[in-house]
Chains A and B, each alone.
Chain A
Amino acid sequence: MTESANNEDLVMVQTYEIEAGNFTLAGEAASNIKKLLRQLGIDAKIVRKVSIAAYEAELNMVIHSLGGIMRLEITPKEIVLKARDDGPGIEDIELAMQEGYSTATELARELGFGAGMGLPNIKRCSDKLHLQSKLGQGTYLEARFFL
């Protein structure tokens, strides 16, 4: 169902556990990803794109999900960001992809989250985006960035 990087091509894999509702820690995984990509000498423009997508995916999980795992795969050809959460799932993906549409709570909005720009930002930054979700089960997001 989803394309996986050829194991032989994998240069590096990192996984990050994302805690639901923890706004204080939110952004840590994306910051770590950014630092790692910089250390690897990846082009600054790509680092920025991956970092923004990672931040949005991470925040989506913090705001909306019951928690999940983000995984970063680096190959010589591309960087793949995978985010899998434990639910509750997205009711209408098409609507969720629309800029400005949000189901974030009042609290999240007061903190400046929930602008309805998360998924559109990820789409804009990535070269390929795959999103699948099932209500009551969870969401899987896969964003690819070509090197």
Chain B
Amino acid sequence: MIGSRRAAADGARPDGVANAPLLRVTDLRLEVPGATGPVAAVDGVSLEIAAGRVLALVGESGSGKSLTALAIARLLPDGVVRRSGQLWFEGVGALERLPERAMRAVRGAEIGFVFQEPMSALNPVMRVGEQVREAIEAHRGRPRGRAARQRAIELLAQVGIPEPELRYRAYPHELSGGMKQRVCIAIALAAGPRLLLADEPTTALDVTVQAQVLELLAALRRRSSLAMLLITHDLGVVAELADGVAVMYAGRVVEQAPVEVLFRAPLHPYTVGLFRSLPRLDGPRGRLVPIPGSVPPPGERPAGCPFRNRCAAAVARCAEQEPRLESVAQRHAVACWRPGAVTP
């Protein structure tokens, strides 16, 4: 087996050994420029996703969840540096060592992307069908010309776009937000990837449209065993779609568990805080219990546990030593000196 620090898994392997992961991220560290030199924005993140499973990466702005996804795709913005970490993709190998040319083939063919803002992900002056066709033709051995056009229309139909022949000729501005996001999903699927990186894919959508897009993602995953890294701040979306959850705070994974375990028995005070500050349709109405303060930016994170300044259960040890992510039960890991000290 590889690496001793591997985190509790994503729920794919009940015995903790069986099927090998599709993607394994080990000890990822990303740095951004700070006032006095580089500071860690992502600090020692390890993740695994098995084929056909959905791992949700949950956290608030600044937690490092989007940077983690961009690092997997090797699309880090200028100035952000991968200081360390392995990105192992089944059948391809170490992504971090691939030349850019080879990586370009992996993007699309193995790893597809869907982002929050469908409008900015699409080319505004190109017909949406042509954009899907372009994504199909971009990869070697794929259909071209009329066959590619036919395949694009099939893809538009698959993602639930009505009258796909007609919509093929539409420009992005002629489509609603939900339809644009479906086009983005069609583009992401064009070359048949095994992993979809979905960064807040429904955040910009209305709730009825969000439900439709979540249905689509669930159907894709079920029928084509597409694995997903689902990045979201919305615990409702997590509950609906994820198998496993990794909760990120200040650049670290602070808790990881199968979704039903995390929702039933969260152990990290931050995870508990997220649940308690969430207004619910079914729970009691009264006052919400917010987490005091806000996420510290990289470079201003406290020594020891990065959450201790906001934590109701913090003790002296939390300031002295940083807790590592450790298993507390099968497939449930938490980085906390006092797991369970704050109850939901």
A binds B: no
Residues of B whose CB lies within 8 Å of any CB of A are none
